[in-house]
């Protein structure tokens, strides 16, 4: 694939404004239009619930793995990673201090074990790297946890800390990973088809090798989602909260939703999950990318 394959084509006359979004915003629309409206469109924005414990764990681990690469190579030891977890720890959402300390120790163990398998001298091309991609209708921007240089090309690496172990099929079907690969290919002008999910609790790596055609299909999927969201946003601009294009997608995820307090339909789906529930029970299946 040429580097220009993803470049926006010129059209006659005044081009329509590109729809700007991140992969997480696109998937928010797919998961629940009502949450999409509450999160991205309503002004003033309704307050979201406080951060949950599994998010605190995930953010601390991601930050530690990011900062580990800022150390000089000689200091990039597994023990240094554990110390970075300690200094990055976010004590929010837990049942109590004892639970927070327990999970901090777990996170340190996971990071230590993971880093024993990482070559400290193999500096990645990007850490928490922002990438962008434009098509005829969509301007996409997102952030890659890690972008590796491999002999066969670039590889997108995404860290996972949830209780659910990702599979190769999860890597294959992930819309964000495919879009990151396409954006990296365009920006760095180097082949990028490999996507990986690195699950720290289990030490497993889920892998998929895209093709040019599969990346194009994922881009088309993103454009289709963006088209639906654009039409809804245009209706919202005219009708506001009275727009009928933002129904609640009622289901198990309503018990975890950060905007549940503002959605009567979601409130009828069982009791709200506690801030630490995901540490004990995996979050219900959804397409959104939960950093946990």
Q: How far is CA 35 from CA 18, 54, 81, 233, in A?
A: 22, 20, 36, 13
Q: Is residue 239 part of a domain?
A: no
Give residue 16's pLDDT band: very low, low, confident or very high (50, 70, 90). Answer: confident
pLDDT for 284 equals 55
Give residue 14's pLDDT band: very low, low, confident or very high (50, 70, 90). Answer: low
Q: Where are the alpha helices (DSSP H) in the chain?
A: 23-31, 33-36, 53-68, 78-88, 97-115, 168-173, 175-188, 212-239, 264-267
Inform me whether the pLDDT recorded for 109 exceeds 90: yes
Residue 196 β-bridge partners: 157, 207
pLDDT for 259 equals 97
What domain range includes position 206? 19-45+124-223
Q: What angle do CA 42, 44, 46 make, to 5 degrees?
A: 75
Inform me whether the pLDDT recorded for 286 exceeds 80: no
Give residue 7's pLDDT band: very low, low, confident or very high (50, 70, 90). Answer: very low
pLDDT for 8 equals 41
Inform me whether the pLDDT recorded for 174 exceeds 50: yes
Q: Is residue 209 part of a domain?
A: yes
Number of domains in the chain: 1
Over residues 94-111, mean pLDDT: 98
249: Cα separation from own chain's centroid: 20
Q: Is residue 271 part of a domain?
A: no
| Mean per-residue pLDDT of the chain | 93
Inform me whether the pLDDT recorded for 32 exceeds 90: yes
For residue 183, the 8-state DSSP code is H
**Higher per-residue confidence, 71 vs 5:** 71
Give residue 264's pLDDT band: very low, low, confident or very high (50, 70, 90). Answer: very high
> Residue 16, SS3?
coil
pLDDT for 281 equals 77
How much of the chain exceeds pLDDT 90, in percent? 90
Q: Considering only 5-19, 150-164, 254-268, which range has the smallest mean pLDDT?
A: 5-19
Q: How far is CA 261 from CA 31, 92, 163, 257, 267, in A?
A: 17, 20, 26, 9, 7
pLDDT for 79 equals 98
User: Long-range contacts made by residues 260-264, C-beta under 8 angstroms, separation at least 24?
Assistant: 260/49, 261/46, 261/47, 261/49, 262/38, 262/46, 263/34, 263/35, 263/38
> Residue 138, SS3?
strand
How many angstroms separate the CA atoms of 234 and 245, rounded?
10
Q: Is residue 90 part of a domain?
A: no
At 184, list the tokens.
């990296």
Tens of pLDDT, residues 188-240: 999 999 999 999 999 999 999 999 999 999 999 999 999 999 999 999 999 99
Q: Is residue 250 part of a domain?
A: no
Give residue 93's pLDDT band: very low, low, confident or very high (50, 70, 90). Answer: very high
Q: Is residue 212 part of a domain?
A: yes
Q: Do β-strands 19-21 and 138-150 pair in parallel, antiparallel, or remain unpaired?
A: parallel
pLDDT for 3 equals 40
Q: Is residue 252 part of a domain?
A: no
pLDDT for 15 equals 73
- The DSSP string of 88-131 is H----S-SSHHHHHHHHHHHHHHHHHHHTTS-TT---SEEEEEE
Inform me whether the pLDDT recorded for 287 exceeds 80: no
How much of the chain exceeds pLDDT 70, in percent? 92
Residue 206 β-bridge partners: 197
Q: Is residue 27 part of a domain?
A: yes
pLDDT for 73 equals 96
Inform me whether the pLDDT recorded for 4 exceeds 80: no
Give residue 41's pLDDT band: very low, low, confident or very high (50, 70, 90). Answer: very high
How many angstroms separate the CA atoms of 221 and 29, rounded?
13
Over residues 135-156, mean pLDDT: 97
pLDDT for 13 equals 59
Over residues 166-179, mean pLDDT: 98
Q: How far is CA 98 from CA 19, 51, 95, 105, 203, in A?
A: 46, 18, 8, 11, 25
């Amino acid at each position: 694939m040429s580097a220009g394959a993803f470049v926006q084509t010129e059209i006659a006359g005044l081009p329509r404004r590109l729809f700007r979004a991140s992969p997480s915003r696109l998937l928010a629309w797919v998961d629940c239009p009502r949450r999409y409206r509450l999160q991205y469109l309503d002004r003033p924005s309704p307050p979201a619930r406080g951060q949950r414990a599994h998010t605190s764990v995930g953010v601390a681990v991601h930050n530690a793995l990011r900062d580990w690469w800022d150390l000089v190579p000689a200091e990039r030891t597994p023990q240094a990673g554990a110390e970075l977890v300690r200094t990055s720890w976010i004590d929010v959402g837990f049942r109590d201090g004892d639970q927070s300390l327990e999970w901090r120790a777990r996170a340190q163990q996971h990071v230590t074990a993971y880093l024993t398998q990482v070559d400290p001298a193999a500096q990645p091309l990007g850490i928490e790297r922002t990438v962008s991609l434009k098509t005829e209708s969509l301007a996409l921007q997102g952030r890659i946890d890690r972008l590796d240089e491999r002999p066969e090309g670039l590889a997108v690496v995404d860290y996972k800390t949830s209780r659910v172990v990702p599979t190769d099929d999860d890597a294959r079907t992930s819309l964000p990973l495919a879009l990151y690969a396409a954006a990296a290919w365009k920006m760095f002008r180097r082949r990028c088809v490999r996507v990986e999910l690195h699950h720290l609790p289990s030490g497993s790596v889920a892998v998929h090798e895209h093709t040019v055609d599969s990346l194009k299909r994922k881009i088309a999927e993103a454009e289709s989602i963006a088209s639906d969201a654009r039409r809804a946003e245009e209706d919202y601009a005219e009708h506001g909260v009275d727009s009928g294009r933002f129904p609640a997608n009622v289901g198990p995820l309503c018990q975890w939703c950060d905007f549940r307090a503002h959605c009567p339909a979601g409130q009828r789906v069982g009791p709200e999950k506690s801030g630490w529930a995901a540490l004990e029970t995996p979050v219900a299946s959804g397409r959104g990318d939960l950093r946990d």
